[in-house]
């Protein structure tokens, strides 16, 4: 007996329903970790790799100061240690009148990296600055220019624009992974709350949302 038309339609609908309930493949799960913007995939991989190397889950806040303390080839100088190197007069200038002209820098010495962070800045900015400096070290970025700081007399490294972008966006991805940001945005979590949860600025959350095409999902 020939199949009736409505039976064929029911069979098609049943097949579509079965497909919609099929579990995600490994490839689909892997792709869900990355934003739709291919230009950000490399930065996302770098951010996830940092978390993986130090055992930090994607949904947990990342404290770069803890990462720095666990890195054998890195020494994070305290304010007192830095002051002892540059002297009190220079320190007063750097942390006073000139405090808005710098965020942080790295000084390589005999295979080790000494990192200085501007502690007069907000904690959220310090987190972003230190994570960016960590990526300059991890990605083995070579400076395009060495110059002497007119205030401290120390040599500082300057990077090409594309290298600065790679370190910055890798840092942003490490501080707030795309998969976690996507879940929070789609669940309606306010931007201010996301920033508070991950110890970063509202501006950085907004930048991540816009660059990863999540701004329109608000």
> Tens-digit pLDDT profile for the chain (218 aa)?
454 554 455 554 444 443 333 333 444 435 578 999 898 999 999 999 999 999 999 999 999 999 999 998 899 999 999 999 888 888 898 899 988 888 998 888 888 899 999 999 999 999 999 999 999 999 988 766 556 666 656 656 666 778 889 999 999 999 999 999 999 999 999 999 999 999 999 999 999 999 999 987 66
133, 106 contact by CB (below 8 A): yes
What pLDDT shows up at residue 207?
95
d(CA 35, CA 45): 11
* pLDDT confidence of residue 101: 85
What are the Cα distances from residue 189, in Å, to 91, 124, 196?
Answer: 41, 19, 11
Q: What would the two tokens of residue 52 be?
A: 């993986």
Amino acid 110: pLDDT: 83
Q: What is the pLDDT of residue 148?
A: 62
Q: How far apart are CA 202 and CA 39, in angstroms?
A: 23
Token pair 């240690």 is found at 81
Q: At a CB cut-off of 8 Å and minimum separation 6, what does 83 contact?
A: 91
Phi, psi of 83 (to 5 degrees): -60, -35
Domain positions in the chain: 37-217
The predicted pLDDT at position 152 comes to: 59
């Amino acid at each position: 007996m020939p199949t009736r038309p409505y039976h064929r339609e029911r069979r098609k609908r049943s097949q579509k329903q079965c497909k919609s309930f099929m579990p995600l493949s490994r490839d689909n799960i892997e792709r869900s970790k990355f934003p739709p913007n291919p230009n950000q995939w490399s930065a996302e991989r770098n951010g996830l790799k940092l978390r993986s190397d130090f055992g930090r889950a994607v949904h947990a806040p990342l404290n770069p100061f803890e990462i720095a303390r666990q890195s054998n080839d890195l020494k994070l100088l305290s304010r007192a240690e830095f002051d002892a190197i540059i002297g009190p007069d220079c320190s007063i200038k750097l942390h006073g009148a000139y405090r808005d002209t710098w965020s942080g820098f790295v000084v390589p010495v005999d295979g080790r990296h000494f990192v200085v962070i501007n502690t007069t800045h907000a904690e959220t900015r310090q987190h972003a600055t230190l994570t960016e400096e960590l990526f300059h070290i991890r990605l083995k970025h070579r400076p395009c220019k060495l110059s002497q700081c007119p205030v401290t007399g120390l040599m500082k490294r300057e990077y090409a624009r594309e290298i600065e972008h790679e370190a910055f966006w890798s840092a942003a991805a490490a501080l707030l992974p795309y998969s976690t940001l996507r879940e929070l945005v789609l669940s309606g979590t306010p931007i201010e709350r996301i920033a508070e949860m991950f110890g970063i600025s509202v501006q950085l959350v907004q930048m991540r949302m816009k660059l990863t095409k999540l701004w329109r999902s608000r």
